[in-house]
Amino acid sequence: MKKLFYLLSFLILTACGDDKFSPGIPDIGIPEVEQPKDVDSVPVVEVPEVPEVDIPDPVIPESEEPEPYRPTRKIGKTYTFDLVEDSGIDQTKAIQDVLDKAENGYIDKNGDTIVNVIQFPEGKYWTEGFDVGLKKKYVIGLLNKEFIDIEASGATLYTKAPGHPYGGDIGKGRYSHRRHFWIENSKFIEIQGLRIEGSNTIQGDLLGTTKAYTPDFWKAGGLDRGAHGDVPAYASYLEFEHGYAVNESQNITFDNCSVYGVWGDGFYLGNKVSEGGSRNIKILNSVVDFVGRQGFAASVADGVIIDNCEFKRVRRAPIDFEPYGATGYVNNVRLTNTYLEGFHGGIAALGRGQVNNIYIENVKINSPGPDISCWDSAGKTVRENWHVKNLSRVRSYGSHVGSIRFKKTNNITIENSFVPIAKSQSKKSMELTDCENVTITGNDFTNGLYIISENSSVTAKGNTPKQEIIIE
């Protein structure tokens, strides 16, 4: 009880705040803190001003992923020739051996294209190929090759005579199939600067390989039988003697190449539909001159570019899109910046099968024949998508038929072209039969007054002179 009494007394006295009533509480020695009487007397510590500093926003680094590897084109192996410029020594085998020996290029594990190179020396080399016989398809052949460049600037391969005696026994089917440079089942091939010369020529001296191969008119320096003016003769039994022939191959480029004096076509593309024909072919900066059939011909082809080329003194059509039978096709062609000179017209697209997606621009035509002729000779296949822009004729067209003729072809555009018609002729500018969606605009058909339309839908505007559409 006493303890409780003392505790309560202590609490009461403490609450009253009077030190006199705290007996028995020992002094624990807590010092009193003297408070300043005048606040102004407290010393003030001056803090220097801190200048403002522009602090840039923090830069958060982007994820540093490495750039993707860009595949490049690299040179692998190089092959050369040991050739002799001697008209008495046939170089066919020496050339063919190197082509056969050349290994294919490839795409390596990094995606780089490794291209092997075949280099021809400058010079003119006789390549008759007598050892190949009459039935062989070519003189020089590039077969089953990939990723190869042929560099041949300044090199010419020539023959002295056709593949069999001139005027051979046609009754026995003795047709020459001797292409001068044959490419088959190959891809990613580039040929640069190679010139092919055939024996269909009246220019310069030509001495056949034997008496049988040397017609009398050659000895006398006369004209070929069947020659017309400044274009060479056409001989049906020699018409397959092409300069270059590409068969069942893809991604083939000819750059700065030339063909002269062959009996067949300058360039030929084909051949079997079942094997896919020829695809993605480029003919660039090249010249075909004085040839006995077509300048360029295709029978099974898809994806062709012809740019900045010349086709001169061609016996038949400089450009021929002629599908191989009803299942053949010549599709997706760009013909640009090119000169066409031929005895039978400019661009022919006859035969059977598809000839679709044809783009023609900046093409000049010098021919007594029509500029464009396009239809399926069997009258069955409907063709489509022809666009002709800035076509021009060197001479006025003189004929009783139109200079541009289409049958069963849809989606045709002819624009900004110069197609003068001779005053003495029928005044027909174009002829259309069974064609849909035809637009003819901004063209100069000097002296041409009429567009003949048979069962066709045609829009003509802005032409000179204004074209009258005659419905037949």
Contact 435, 457 (CB under 8 A): yes
Residue 284 forms part of a structural domain: yes
pLDDT in tens, 139-152: 999 999 999 999 99
pLDDT at position 430 is 97
Is residue 24 predicted with pLDDT exceeding 50?
no
Is residue 418 predicted with pLDDT exceeding 50?
yes
* pLDDT higher at 59 or 457: 457
User: What is the average per-residue pLDDT within 17-31?
Assistant: 46
- Across-strand partners of 75? 115
Contact 194, 157 (CB under 8 A): yes
* pLDDT higher at 211 or 90: 90
Is residue 113 predicted with pLDDT exceeding 90?
yes
Residue 192 forms part of a structural domain: yes
- Across-strand partners of 312? 289
pLDDT in tens, 316-325: 999 999 998 8
Percent of the chain whose predicted confidence (pLDDT) is above 70: 77
pLDDT at position 431 is 97
Q: Which of 120-124, 275-279, 451-455 has the lowest mean pLDDT?
A: 275-279
Residue 128 forms part of a structural domain: yes
Contact 292, 232 (CB under 8 A): yes
pLDDT at position 57 is 67
Name the band, by pLDDT with cuts 50, 70 and 90, for residue 426. confident
Residue 355 forms part of a structural domain: no
Is residue 203 predicted with pLDDT exceeding 70?
no
Contact 150, 120 (CB under 8 A): yes
pLDDT at position 420 is 96
Residue 467 forms part of a structural domain: no
pLDDT at position 460 is 97
pLDDT at position 275 is 76
pLDDT in tens, 383-396: 999 999 999 999 99
User: What is the average per-residue pLDDT within 103-110?
Assistant: 96
pLDDT in tens, 191-201: 999 999 988 76
pLDDT at position 84 is 92
Q: What is the span of the domain harbouring residue 229?
A: 73-316
Q: Which of 51-60, 178-187, 418-427 has the lowest mean pLDDT?
A: 51-60
Residue 422 forms part of a structural domain: no
Element (H, E) at 177: none
- Residues 84 and 89: their CA atoms lie apart, in Å, by 7
Percent of the chain whose predicted confidence (pLDDT) is above 90: 63
Phi and psi torsions of 222, nearest 5°? -85, -175
- Residues 192 and 77: their CA atoms lie apart, in Å, by 17
Is residue 19 predicted with pLDDT exceeding 50?
no
The answer, yes or no, to whether the previous bond of 465 is cis (omega within 30 of 0) is yes
Q: Which of 29-43, 147-161, 217-231, 419-433 has the lowest mean pLDDT?
A: 29-43
Cβ burial of 48 (10 Å; 0-12, 13-18, 19+) is exposed
What is the number of structural domains in the chain?
1
Name the band, by pLDDT with cuts 50, 70 and 90, for residue 187. very high
Cβ burial of 378 (10 Å; 0-12, 13-18, 19+) is exposed
Q: Which two tokens stand for residue 210?
A: 């034997």
pLDDT at position 209 is 53
**274: DSSP letter:** G
Residue 324 forms part of a structural domain: no
The CATH number of residue 131's host domain is 2.160.20.10
Residue 62 forms part of a structural domain: no
Name the band, by pLDDT with cuts 50, 70 and 90, for residue 64. low
Is residue 411 predicted with pLDDT exceeding 60?
yes
Amino acid at 14: T
